[in-house]
């Protein structure tokens, strides 16, 4: 990269992708309130590529749900980009190879990647509790977090909403945990049978409402998946294909990084003539028998002459900077679902 002057032309927009997340540690519990808004949903891909270790595919031992173990390729995480497929096609078929390169990669070979999956995100309120319990801390305090979750959790929340009295999730706290797997955020979700703690008094309600209004992030999409330009996604897809080609070549013994090179190949490599930067063979030196020891003055003169006679190396072109506008990469906005946020006054009135 070259130098950049402090000018208006060089100013770029910035996005704050740091936001408070709802995540439980191993064995942790939490008490939360949901239903304050409808969650956002996107179809999201998970991209990974296999790895080579010393020219050999890197393997790892994984466990199935029944506890049995199996060997699988160890993969490096690339990203969670939002699918480029058309919504109506994704809703109908679960994949859109004609419009999304990642869907096309999954259709090409299921080993390369999977079809997209639904991911959800919404703001939730978490109570401050005593220690590792669900008991409310004194003084009353809450914090606003962003919860990103899968279709399984969405279905569980829907079942709870259908089962509780009145079907209003805001009026009943949810008890999470204890967490049994922090990496995959696995924990039970149980509704409280009594009225939500934030509705226990007007003071609690006022703190709850102010915290809710003042701390929301502007775009929940960033908590679901990354919005990327098609050209960037195509590069990621090709990276995955290249990685699989190397793995298959290594397994068949055809990889240039394979450890199966025989002695004759190694000897051939050692006797290969030296070449310059453009691949042309360099002429053999006629001064091989001359002594390499020279005086300090001769060294300096030789260096100066070398610097003057040598043609400058072609300037390397900087890599293209990815500065595509967010508007071009962001999926088409849909009408916002109606939420029940405006009904806080009615809920507060119930407490009087």
Report angle CA 119, 120, 123 to the nearest 5 degrees: 155
Helix and strand element counts for the chain (H, E)? 9, 12
Residues forming a β-bridge with 281: 275
Residue (of 200, 216, 221) closest to 144 by Cα position: 216
> Residue 264's pLDDT is what?
41
CA torsion through residues 125, 131, 135, 137, sign: negative
Question: What three-state secondary structure class fits 35?
Answer: coil
Terminus-to-terminus CA distance in the chain, angstroms?
64
What is the overall mean pLDDT for the chain?
79
CA distances to 102, 319, 329 from 326, in Å: 20, 20, 5
Judge if the upstream peptide bond of residue 178 is cis by omega within 30 degrees of 0: yes
Stretch 55-74: mean pLDDT: 89
Q: Which residues of 23-35 are buried (b: 16+ CB within 10 A; e: fewer)?
A: ebeeeebbbbbbb
Which run of H or of E encompasses 31? strand 30-33
Alpha carbons 120 and 106: distance in angstroms, whole number: 22
Give the model's confidence band at 348: pLDDT under 50 very low, under 70 low, under 90 confident, else very high: low
pLDDT for 352 equals 52
Single out the residue of 116, 112, 120 nearest to residue 81, CA to CA: 116
Confidence at 227, pLDDT banded by 50, 70, 90: very high
Which tens digits make up the pLDDT trace of 194-226? 999 999 999 999 999 999 999 999 999 999 999
Q: Enter the pTM of the model.
A: 0.68
127, 136 Cβ separation under 8 angstroms: yes
User: Which of 322 and 40 is assigned the larger pLDDT?
Assistant: 40
**pLDDT over 90 (residue 10):** no
The pLDDT tens digits of the residues spanning 252-300 come to 876 444 333 443 443 344 444 454 544 444 444 444 444 444 444 454 4
CB 34 within 8 A of CB 124: yes
pLDDT score for 198? 96
pLDDT at 273: 46
Task: For residues 147 and 128, give the distance between their C-alpha atoms in angstroms, rounded to a whole number.
Answer: 16
Instruction: Indicate whether 120 pLDDT > 90.
Output: yes
């Amino acid at each position: 990269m070259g130098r950049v002057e402090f000018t208006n032309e060089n100013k770029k927009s910035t996005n704050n992708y740091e936001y408070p997340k709802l995540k439980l540690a191993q064995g942790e519990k939490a008490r939360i309130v949901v239903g304050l808004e409808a969650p956002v949903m996107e179809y999201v891909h998970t991209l990974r590529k296999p790895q080579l270790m010393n020219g050999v595919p890197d393997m790892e031992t994984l466990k199935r749900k029944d506890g049995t173990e199996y060997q699988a390729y160890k993969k490096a995480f690339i990203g969670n980009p939002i699918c480029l497929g058309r919504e109506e096609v994704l809703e109908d078929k679960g994949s859109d190879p004609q419009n999304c390169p990642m869907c096309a990669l999954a259709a090409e070979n299921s080993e390369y990647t999977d079809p997209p999956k639904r991911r959800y995100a919404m703001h939730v309120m978490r109570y401050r509790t005593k220690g590792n319990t669900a008991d409310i801390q004194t003084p009353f305090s809450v914090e606003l977090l962003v919860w990103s979750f899968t279709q399984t959790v969405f279905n569980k929340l829907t079942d709870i909403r259908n089962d509780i009295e009145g079907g209003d999730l805001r009026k009943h706290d949810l008890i999470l945990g204890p967490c049994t797997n922090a990496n995959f955020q696995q924990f039970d979700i149980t509704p409280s049978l009594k009225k939500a703690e934030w509705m226990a008094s007007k003071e609690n309600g006022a703190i709850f409402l102010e915290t809710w209004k003042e701390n929301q992030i502007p775009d929940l999409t960033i908590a679901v998946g990354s919005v990327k330009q098609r050209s960037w996604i195509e590069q990621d897809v090709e990276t995955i294909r290249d990685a699989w080609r190397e793995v298959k070549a290594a397994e068949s013994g055809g990889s240039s990084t394979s450890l199966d090179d025989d002695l004759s190949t190694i000897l051939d490599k050692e006797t290969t003539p030296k070449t310059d930067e453009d691949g042309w063979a360099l002429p053999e030196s006629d001064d091989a028998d001359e002594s390499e020891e020279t005086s300090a003055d001769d060294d300096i003169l030789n260096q100066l002459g070398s610097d003057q006679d040598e043609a400058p190396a072609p300037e390397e072109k900087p890599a293209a900077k990815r500065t595509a506008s967010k508007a071009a990469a962001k999926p088409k906005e849909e009408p916002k679902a109606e939420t029940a946020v405006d009904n806080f006054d009615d809920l507060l009135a119930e407490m009087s």
